[in-house]
Homo-oligomer: A and B are copies of this chain.
Amino acid sequence: MAENRVTGQEGRRLVSTAIRQALSAGDLVPGQRLVEQELSETLHATRNCVREALQDLAAEGLVELVPRRGARVRVVSVEEAIQITECRAALEGLCARRAATHAPAEQRESLREIGAGMRAAVSGGDLNTYSALNRRLHARIAEMSGQTVAGGLLDRLKGQMVRYQFRLALRPGRPTKSLPQHLAIIEAIVAGDGAAAEEAARAHLDSVIDELRATPDTEPQEPRSLGAHV
C-alpha cells in the first residue's frame, strides 16, 4: 500500500479530472454532496487539493458551491439543458460555417471517414461507437474552424450536459434520426458551403432540443449516501 498522497497543483488536476470522470460515468448523481474530507480520503489527496479542485469545477459550472455548506453536484434542469443547446446551436453553427469556408479541402474531406464510421455503427447497432464518433465529429469541426474561443465555450457547455447527452443517445430511434443530420453537416462542409453548413448544424441541434422537450424533468435524485441501508 503505497501511501503517496497526491498533492499540489498536479493533485488538483488529478482530483478534478477524477470527479469529472465520476460525473460522466454516472457515479455521482446531481444534487449529491461532495464532502472534502471524504473525497480526500478516497482519492488520496490533500484536503487542499480537493478544495481547489472543487473551485475549478464550480467555475466550470459542474458543481455548486454554497458557502459554509459545501459543494454539491449541480443540478441542470431540462429548461437549462435546452438553453445550453440553443447556445450550442449558435456556436456550432459558427464553427461549421468557418470550417466549411476556412479549412483546407483535404481536412474537410477527412470528415467523410467519420461519417462512414457513423453509418456503419448505426447499421451495426453499436451505440457506443456512434456516440464516440458523434463527439469526435463535433470536436473535429470546432478544431478545423480555428475558432478556439468558440471551441472553449462549447467544451464548457457540453461538460454541463453529460447526463443528458448520455440519455439522449440511448433513446430508441434517435440514431436513425440524427445520422442523416450529421451526414448533411459533413457534406456541406466538404462542399465548402458555409451557409449550408451553418444551417445543417443548427437544424441538428434544433432536433436535439425537440428531443429534450420530450424529456420528463428529473425527479430530485436521492443523494445516495454511502451508509444507505435498506
Contact B94 A87 (CB under 8 A): yes
Which of these, B60, B87, B147, contacts A153 with CB under 8 Å? B87
- CB-CB under 8 A from A86, the residues of chain B are 94, 147, 149-150
Residues in B whose Cβ lies below 8 Å from that of A9: 67
Taken residue by residue from 67 to 81, chain A's Cβ proximity to chain B (1 for < 8 Å, 0 otherwise) reads as 100000000000010
Q: Is A91 an interface residue (CB 8 A)?
A: yes
Asked if A56 CB lies within 8 Å of chain B CBs, one says yes
Report if A80-B149 is in contact (Cβ < 8 Å); known contacts: A67-B9, A87-B94: yes
| B residues less than 8 Å from A147 (CB atoms) | 83, 86-87
Instruction: State whether A153 touches B150 (Cβ < 8 A).
Output: no
A90 touches B83 (CB 8 A): no
Report the interface size class on chain A: 20 to 34
Report if A110 contacts B (CB, 8 A): no
Secondary structure at chain A's binding surface: helix, strand, loop or mixed? helix
Give the chain B neighbours of A150 by CB distance below 8 A.
Answer: 83, 86-87, 90
A149 touches B84 (CB 8 A): yes
Flag whether A215 is at the interface (Cβ < 8 A).
no
* Cα(A53)–Cα(B208), bound, Å: 37
* A149: contacting residue among B60, B83, B93, CB under 8 A: B83
| Cβ of A220 to closest chain B Cβ, rounded Å | 21
What are 25 A-B interface contacts by the 8 Å CB criterion?
A9-B67, A52-B55, A55-B55, A55-B59, A80-B148, A80-B149, A83-B148, A83-B150, A84-B149, A86-B94, A86-B147, A86-B149, A86-B150, A87-B94, A87-B147, A87-B149, A87-B150, A89-B94, A90-B90, A90-B93, A90-B94, A90-B150, A91-B91, A149-B157, A153-B153
